[in-house]
Structure 1
Amino acid sequence: MTHRPAIRRPILLAALAAVALPLGGCGAVNRGVESVNQPVVTRTDYAFDVQSGPGGLAPGEAQRLRGWLDALRLGYGDSVTLDDPAGAGSAARADVAAVAAHYGLLLAADAPVTGAPVAPGTLRVVVSRSRAAVPSCTDGRRNLEPAFDYNNTTDYGCAINTNLAAMVANPTDLVRGNAGGSDYDAQWGTRAITTLRAATPTGNGGGSLKGQAESTGSK
């Protein structure tokens, strides 16, 4: 006489082991609230040499510089600096600053190291462009992992950190922070709150639509 339960038990255990093996390799254990999907900031430096002299940029160099900046689609968030080891003079710097001002940007203080030496009689304009993204959120396993051990899934924090990386004006602030300015105008800072408190409540007639009258009765 054979015992069928004794035959089925190894089959059941083998089935459970087959299910447990894929779950064991789903990734690192993360039971905290700190997301492992953090923004990664990358920076690209573009260099452009222009001819300069005692009176500023050489003729036609400002137009050539503007064409290069147009090709880069220079805009808010980019940084424009000057690599001027020979000291081209304040006139040349003012000419470059005037071109950068056309795009709504000011010259930054410190230029990054570009590697190649700057030839005499030239001025190097460096545009630094930083971008932030969360590359780890492309993990295809994120929607397939059950949280049997109360672990956070691999996509935990992807939505918040991806939006933060997309909305921050200067991505380098995610790396070194931003202390902010020392000047603060209390009048401007509290203007919105003061206007809200001074407004007439809607229950007292404030905020009603002007020029519209309500009518009752059948049409």
Structure 2
Amino acid sequence: MSAKLRILLVATAAVALSACGTRNTGIESIHQPVVQRSDYAFDVAAADNGLTAEETDRLAGWMSSLRLGYGDRIAVDANTGANAAVRDTVSALAARYGLLVSDEVPYTAGQIAPGTARVVVSRMRASVPNCPDHSRVSGIEYEGNTNSNYGCAVNSNLASMIARPEDLVRGQPGAPTSDPAAAFKAIDTYRKAPSTGAGGLKAESTKGGN
């Protein structure tokens, strides 16, 4: 086999390999965080005055097994007259984890039996599918594609660090009002600070020492 033929075969193989794998010809990475929500439901027997001590202990054990934390949402769906009392008990248990009971109750499968209440915990998780992605061989790029792994590190770190994954889907609304004094405080402090070069340069001597 001649040298020219070998070079041609190697170049052809390189072009074929570069055409395989994930394509991304835009500026934005195609590897974006995906938010998934899971709902966990727990039915408890509700008396006229709320939950009994036994049901409260069962509910507390269930919450502990879920390892509730910041970002989880708790809601109460009850069709009994003791809805307010049940909500107060659930609120007290949720307060142990620094959580509040939400007014919005997500849809869950199955009907709630008479005389029972359903406690629903909604949990969201963010992840970046198909990362890391080394499906595209690095080399000469004839179609303007970025590396197949482009964006995996940044977006995976963002998905891991965000406290409320739902904020990636719908951000938090801003405050309807603002305090001009608070906004001006940082600017005023910066303006009143003395300049770092106001005192001149410090004189150093090369004399002395060993």
TM class by smaller structure: 0.7 to 0.9
2:158 paired residue among 158, 161, 164: 164
Q: 2:90 corresponds to which residue?
A: 96
> Over residues 167-212 of structure 1, what are the superposed CA-to-partner deviations in whole Å (9 max), with x where a residue is unaligned?
222111212333234243444445444444455556679xxxxxxx
Match of 2:32, as an amino acid? Q
1:209 corresponds to which residue?
Answer: none
Q: TM-score, normalised by structure 1?
A: 0.77
Aligned residue number for residue 141 of structure 2? 148
**Counterpart position of 2:77:** 83
- Listed as ranges, the matches of 1:62-81 within 5 Å are 62-81=56-75
| Whole-Å separation in 2 of the counterparts to 1:155 and 1:11 | 30
Q: Secondary structure at the match of 1:136?
A: coil
After superposition, residues 128-207 of structure 1 pair within 5 angstroms as 128-141=122-135, 144-149=137-142, 150-199=144-193
Q: State the distance in 2 between where 1:153 and 1:27 align.
A: 8
Amino acid at match of 1:69: M
Tell me, yes or no, if the aligned pair for 2:18 and 2:140 is still in contact at 8 Å: no
Q: 2:41 aligns with which of 29, 44, 47?
A: 47
Which whole-Å CA distance do the structure 1 matches of 2:75 and 2:39 have between them? 10
Measure, in 2, the Cα distance between the counterparts of 1:168 and 1:89: 34
Shift in Å, 1:89: 2.5
Corresponding position: 1:26 with 2:21: yes
- Change over 3 Å in CA distance of 1:116–1:147 after alignment to 2: farther
Q: Are 1:50 and 1:65, in contact at CA under 8 Å, matched by a contact in 2?
A: yes
Do the aligned partners of residues 65 and 19 (structure 1) sit closer, same or farther apart at CA in structure 2, a change above 3 Å counting? same
Q: Work out the percentage of aligned pairs sharing the same amino acid.
A: 45
- Structure 2 distance, partners of 1:42, 1:193, is 41
Kindly provide the amino acid, as one letter, of the partner of residue 121 in structure 2. Answer: V
**Using the alignment, how far apart are the partners of 2:54 and 2:186 within structure 1?**
48
Unpaired runs of 5+ in structure 2? 200-207
SS at match of 2:117: strand
Would you say 1:119 and 2:113 are equivalent positions?
yes
Q: Higher relative contact order at CA 8 Å, sep ≥6: structure 1 or structure 2?
A: 2
Displacement of 1:218 in angstroms is 6.2
Deviation at 1:81? 0.8
Task: Name the aligned partner's letter for residue 14 of structure 1.
Answer: L
How well do the aligned residues superpose, as a CA RMSD in angstroms?
2.8
Instruction: Deviation per CA, 1:102-131: give whole Å up to 9, x if none.
Output: 211111122222202111111111111111
Shift of 1:10: 4.5
Shift in Å at residue 38 of structure 1? 0.4
Please report how far the alpha carbon of residue 86 of structure 1 lies from its aligned counterpart in structure 2 after TM superposition. 4.1
Which one-letter code corresponds to 1:72 in the other structure? L
Normalising to structure 2: TM-score of the pair? Answer: 0.80
Residues of 2 paired with 1:63 and 1:123: CA distance? 15
Shift of 1:152: 1.0
Deviation at 1:90, TM superposition (A): 1.3
